[in-house]
Amino acid sequence: ARDEGMFGIADAIVQAGLSSSTREQLPVVVAFVRESLLAQDPEGYARSCEALAAAQPAAVESIDVPTMLVAGDEDAVAPVQVARDLARRIGDATVEVLPRCGHWMTAERAIECQSHLRKFFERYQDRILFGTDGSQFTVNYAGGDGNDVVLTLAVVPEPGSLVTLLG
């Protein structure tokens, strides 16, 4: 990235990160992924890669809230088996596998992601409180042992955004 810029990287990630079905049938998703990568600063991208290479594995065994992992069946970056291995290490975890999907699952299979997310939240609806103030979307999970989890996301009121997904 530092020496040659993002063009070659973007093209390689489109080939390796998207499913063959997405590359053949969803040119808008291909363009979105490519343009998202091209918009990144090459130096910043290089530093992110270095940070990932030096990162230590997270202690996922300490996660004590219901967890859903989503994997694409054609994801070469984080294969389904990686998600299954993580799920085994997390106490209360499920794995949802999206067919004909690579690494960019929310772009490649937005409707399926929305469906799995809705089902997951419905399963715990007695413990989850949703709220928004117009600029943030907050999900509060009341843990059975008093350990509450709060997830706050930026609100992007566009079709396909999280607000739309949960709305």
Position 145 scores a pLDDT of 57
Report the C-alpha gap between 151 and 129 in whole angstroms.
11
Q: Which stretches of 26-100 are assigned E, i.e. beta strand? A: 67-72, 93-98
* Mean of pLDDT over the chain: 81
Q: How many helices (DSSP H) and strands (DSSP E) are in the chain?
A: 8, 5
Position 31 scores a pLDDT of 93
Mean pLDDT of 110-122: 85
Position 115 scores a pLDDT of 86
pTM of the model: 0.73
Under the banding of pLDDT at 50, 70 and 90, the label for residue 155 is very low
Mean pLDDT of 118-127: 78
What is the tens place of the pLDDT at every residue in 58-100? Answer: 888 988 888 899 999 999 999 999 999 999 999 888 999 999 9
Position 144 scores a pLDDT of 57
Tokens of 24: 């053949």
Position 156 scores a pLDDT of 43
